[in-house]
Amino acid sequence: MSAQRVINKWFWILGMGVVCALVSIPLYQILMEVLQTPSEGWRLLTEKDPDGLIALLPEEMQVELLPEHTVLYERVKSTCIILCSVILLSTLLGVTLAWMLSVYKLRGKGAITFLLALPLAIPSYVMASCYKQVSAGMELSTSIYVRDSYGAEAMQGYDLWWNYSLAILVLTCSYYPYVFLAARSAFCSLSQEYVESARMLGDSSWRILMRVALPLARPAIMAGVMLVALETLNEYGAMKIIGIETLLTEVFKIRAGTNDLNTAVRVASCIMVMVFALLIGEQLLRGRKKFHASRSGGVVQRNQGLGGISMGFVYLFSALTFIMAFALPVSELLRLASHGIKVTELSTLLDPVWDSFRLALGASGMTLVVALFIAYANRLIPQWWMVAMSKISTLGYAVPGAILGIGIVAWNGAMMNDSAAGELVQWLFYQSTVGLMIAYGIRFLTVSLGSVDAGFKSIRGTLDEASSMLGSSRWKTFLQIHMPLLRPSILAGLLILFVDVMKELPMTLILSPFNTETLAINAYSLFAVQEDYARGSLPALILVLAGISGMAMVRLLLRTSKTIS
Amino acid sequence: MSNLLSLTNITKSYGEQQILSSVSLELGRGDIHAVVGESGCGKTTLLRIVAGLADGATGRVYLDGNDVTHLPPEKRRIGLVFQDYALFPHLTVAKNVTYGMRGKTKSEKEHTLERLLAIMNLPESAMRYPHELSGGQQQRVALARALALDPALLLLDEPFSNLDPIRRQKLRDVLRDLADGQETTSLIVTHDIGDAFKVADYITILKDGAVVQTDTPANIVVNPANEYVERLVDM
Amino acid sequence: MIKRKIAIMSLMLMSSVAALAADEVNLYSQRHYPADKEVFSLFTEKTGIKVNVVTANADELIERLQSEGEKSPADVLITKDAARLHWAESEGLYQEVKSELLVKNVPAHLRDPGMRWFGFTQRARVLVYAMDRVKAGELKTYEDLAKPEWKGRVIARSASNIYNQSLLSAMIATKGEKEALLWAVKVRRNMARKPQGSDRDQIRAVASGLADVAIVNSYYLGLLVNSEDPKDRDLASKVKIAFPNQEGRGAHVNISGIGVCKHAKNKDNAVKFIEFLSSKEVQSLYAEKTYEYPLSLEMITPLHRSWGSFKPDTINLKALGVNNAKAIKIFQAAKWE
């Protein structure tokens, strides 16, 4: 092996190492913090009467007041309730919709699929605000009714139930598209033959779904479900607006109130434990199935015709979902905006738009370069450990944004003690937005990498070799052969990343330097902190519009890219 | 030394498996040399070693007297026609063919393109894209592209596999013309000994990574080295 | 000749004034009301000093100041409540200011005894009740809310709301931990529903009949009365304000406050700015535009008058910060989420 080849190899390996190290820093720091002795705030969460205050009271009151469970327990419980419900509902909804669209003969499937995926353009905290506005009146009148009919205690229970239901509804509407799209894609690539043989053997549509399609599509659908789970664990804005206390809202509360980093990190690590449990669960469920369910030559093309009533039902169901998850929130936003426009000077929006835009651009650009690096390294050195390192580099996505932010803050604090690193950290995170962009990169690398990697894999290795034989160096090959062929994937990845960064809230809240206020933060603080729904609707609308355009462009790109190669 | 290509004791293993054992080969200028064997005998690996696309082998590769064993493929000036043709899908035929022509003027490129397309019988194809061409046409473009470099050595990986008999004949004719007219040396790898017999000046039979016999087609028929070769010839 | 000399001298004078106009003051502020912007413009007009503002949450601002240390460009820090003023001061972020004017304009209980921070607007934490279900004068004190006849009729924000925490802090300072805890327990028991939502949610709940009385900040009613949205004005018309503890210690008040940063580079400008905030001009501007109370309760607007005059609790607001941590613990023990 030539000496040059050896040097080149190390360049890629070291580069991968740097990326993995960057990604691991927040997690490592969290671990370090957790290993230190807990500070006082932790006692407040894990003891029932941390200061002996209840002991001050007369006996009979004590019995009543001593809480049944610690605060931590309650938070874990509420987080679990929300998580499980959202996963269940979004899976049911997503899979049902995907199946109906895949197996039946329907007009305008492409358009319907696009429309049903549109809720992704609406940030969950915006959806929560809209729903809160829309349902406020109903909530009050029904609460009063319950109190008058069943008493004050019942009303308290009703109130709790209402909030949870609203939160679950909002999150389901926000995230079901992940499952929907995954299922649709999986059903689409299901081999025709499987479905037809099942039909020949007498299975109705329903049975085909349960016994054939679902099991075969399961890995892909699981990926979608994992996304829903991770997003739900990362949910802060919507929970705050609706008024549900979860582990994550507790983290923010601790940071805001007492600035007790250690306790905040501890609570954050509880969330991480749940994430790991989910990841391991997914691996175990996926691990055994190794067959390939897909063959080229799409799916259920010869679709089943539907009787008029059933067809009507399918359209109705889709329409209802669309209305609930998209049309309703957006129309409420528009209504609020009509008030908001009167009281806002539009020039005040320029700053957040600019901040959001340049952050998103910078972050996506940086992340894209890293993604290209990793995908290329994998192409050059297809060893198992390279693949392993690539997997590690995508860990960032599994960590809720806020936790990533907290980890980075903890690391910043540790670095401050060392003057040289301290200066760098200061510049990165307090004086410029570079640190924030790197954080976005760590979090969203998967998104970019998935696109780019798929793109690379679709370029046969022989093309690289042909180019080499024709005298081109690796770099020339990359520029003249890979890049043009990768263009659709790169653009798609860039767009998705762009929209994701613009929508991001919890991590941005924690890490953004002073003079930076993204549209997301602007909308959130107007909605949740100042309760100025009219004003807040304006940045929210801009975000939604950006999301819709992004998605529309991606759809266009993926369509046109099918003509080449 | 008049030999264009000289392989000395090429040995390669992959883990426990021995892919090539001490393979030695000599190619003269203007020869058409075929390496024949069943799938898995190591012939494609041998080709790739000559091209510079495979490493981890011991032994030496000499090209026109120079030791190119550790030279990267882009520096070897060897033409290679892949089994799947490997045409760049986003480039026109013209751009594909002239891809390797570095440092040439525009008119030189156009001239060479015209000449090669004529030889390959691909008139009016310059502005088409690979996916618009038939398999046979694609192969000819791939060949033209390799030849545009004016290489001393041309490698072909299973060039006859996807062709019907007429096209095979045409390909054999082209290779013969190149060898006779331009002294282009060709190294062909194929599993079909019949094709090899019809076009090659010399044939090397490879079995399980080792050379069984290297000889002219006539000699192989008359003096097969062992039973294996006999059986091969009979087929 | 003399005319010429005068001309030259006045030119020189004018250019030195122009040089002064490059003067500036840098604010780190938790407030970002439109009215604040007006105040800044007025200040620049009057003094020629340019005002640079950066707005964010108090905790972020404080964290920032701490990490910036001596290199901090901030001249003043503005917060929306007294507890955070105290926190900033205890972190050593403020410096002492010697100003006769401020001593005169800012009542003693609304400024730091050590002259490190000063309030410039007030807000009272009042009881807002439904006109059709509660008689005027029925609610006299905060302690009334703990009485059994109010069971299921009280509503308030959550314990994480800083104004509730400050209310309880004042109570701890005046009546001690145990009494404060008892109060919190009993009021929580009397609540119509779990503490949640915004100020607007509380008032909406009272107007709609879900509860009969809410604990909110005074200026909120001003916002509703003058809102663009007819729904808001409707809400405001159904409720009235009661100022608690008028015969006792007075109604609980909080402040928006300001102090000069320890490492301020433009200290004189900063002091000028703070003094400007306490001037009549600015005080009446705030009263008009944000419905907050000015420092002197004499100078109030017709709107304020319509609510009635009130006696404020004059405990030094430093206490709100000192007892904040305790207040949080008491809320938790009382199950007031």
Tell me the domains of chain A and their CATH numbers: 1-36+344-565 (1.10.3720.10)
In degrees, to the nearest 5, what angle opens at C-alpha B122 toward C-alphas B117 and B123? 90
| pLDDT surpasses 80 at A141 | yes
Q: Which of A315-329, A375-389, A454-468, B91-105 has maximum average pLDDT?
A: A315-329
- What is the pLDDT, as a whole number, of residue A295? 45
- CB pair distance less than 8 Å for C332 and A426: no
Of A296 and C200, which is predicted with more confidence?
Answer: C200
What are the extents of the domains in chain B? 29-56+69-77+151-235, 88-150
What three-state secondary structure class fits B38? Answer: coil
Tokens representing A561? Answer: 């890219």
Q: With contacts defined as CB-CB under 8 Å, which chain C residues touch A163?
A: 196
Q: Percentage of chain C with pLDDT > 70? A: 93
Can you say how many angstroms the Cα of residue A150 is from the centroid of all Cα atoms in its chain?
40
**H-state helical runs in B103-134:** 106-119
- Domain B29-56+69-77+151-235 coded CATH 3.40.640.10: no
The residue among C53, C199, C210, C331 with the most chain A CBs within 10 A of its CB, best to mutate, is: C210
Q: What's the pLDDT at A424?
A: 80
Mean pLDDT rounded to a whole number for chain A: 84
- What SS3 string covers A379-421? HHCCCHHHHHHHHHHCHHHHCCHHHHHHHHHHHHHHHCCCHHH
Quick check: C75 contacting A, CB < 8 Å? no
Beta-sheet pairing, C118-130 with C213-217:
antiparallel
- Among candidates A56, A144, A416 on the partner chain, residue whose Cβ is nearest the Cβ of C210: A144
Structural domains in chain C plus CATH codes: 2-122+255-299 (3.40.190.10), 123-252+310-333 (3.40.190.10)
**CA C256 → CA B109, B203, C79, C295, distances in Å?**
78, 95, 6, 10
Least confident residue range of A82-91, A150-159, A537-546, B123-132:
A150-159
What chain A residue is nearest to C325 in terms of C-alpha separation? A258
pLDDT bucket at A192, cuts 50 / 70 / 90: low
Query: What value does the mean pLDDT of chain C take?
Result: 86
User: Does the pLDDT at position C88 exceed 70?
Assistant: yes
Compute the average pLDDT of residues A378-393: 88
3-state secondary structure of A260: coil
Q: Tell me: ipTM over 0.90.
A: no
* C134 SS3 class: coil
Mean of the pLDDT values across residues A472-488? 91
With a pLDDT cut of 90, the percent of chain C lying above it is 40
pTM: 0.81
pLDDT interval class at A304 (50, 70, 90) = low
A294 pLDDT band, cuts 50/70/90, is very low
Residue A381: predicted pLDDT: 87
* Nearest-Cα residue of chain C relative to residue A74: C337
Q: Is the pLDDT of residue A565 over 60?
A: no
The pLDDT value given to residue A299: 47
pLDDT at A257 over 80: no
Task: Rounding to the nearest 10 degrees, give the CA dihedral for residues B54, B60, B61, B67.
Answer: 120
Cα–Cα distance for residue pair B204/B219, rounded to 1 Å? 12
CB distance A225 to A87 below 8 Å: yes
A324 vs chain C: nearest CA distance in angstroms? Answer: 24
Do the Cβ atoms of A102 and A187 come closer than 8 Å?
yes
Q: Report the pLDDT averaged over residues A140-153.
A: 84
Split at pLDDT 50, 70, 90, the class of C19 is very low
* Token duo for residue A327: 């049309």
The mean-pLDDT minimum among A204-213, A269-278, A346-355, C258-267 falls in A204-213
Give me the pLDDT at residue B201, please: 92
Q: Does the distance separating the beta carbons of A255 and C209 come in below 8 Å?
A: no
For chain B, which ranges sit under pLDDT 70? 1-2, 235
How confident is the model at residue A95, as a pLDDT? 92
C267 CB contacts (<8 Å, ≥6 apart)? C75, C95, C260
Residue written as tokens 């205050």? A53
CA distance B120 to B126: 12
Q: Tell me the residue length of chain C.
A: 337
Residue C17 has pLDDT above 90, yes or no: no
Instruction: Look up residue A495 and give its two tokens.
Output: 């767009």
Q: Do the Cβ atoms of C325 and A44 come within 8 Å? A: no
Closest residue of C to A340, CA-based? Answer: C228
A touches which chains (3+ CB pairs under 8 A)?
A: B, C
Angle B115-B117-A458 from CA coordinates, rounded to 5°: 135
Mean pLDDT, range A128-149, rounded to an integer? 88
Residue C187 pLDDT > 90, yes or no?
yes
Tokens of B19: 């892919």
Of the candidates A399, A125, A130, which has an alpha carbon nearest to the alpha carbon of residue A236? A125
What percent of chain A lies above the pLDDT cut of 70? 90
Nearest chain C Cα distance for residue A412, angstroms: 10
pLDDT of residue C164: 94
- Partners of C129 in beta bridges: C213, C240
Give the gap in angstroms from C-alpha B230 to the nearest C-alpha of chain A. Answer: 35
CB of B60 within 8 Å of any CB in chain A?
no
Convert the pLDDT of each residue in C288-314 to its tens digit.
Answer: 888 888 888 876 788 888 888 888 888
* Cβ-defined contact of C194 to A67 (cutoff 8 Å): no
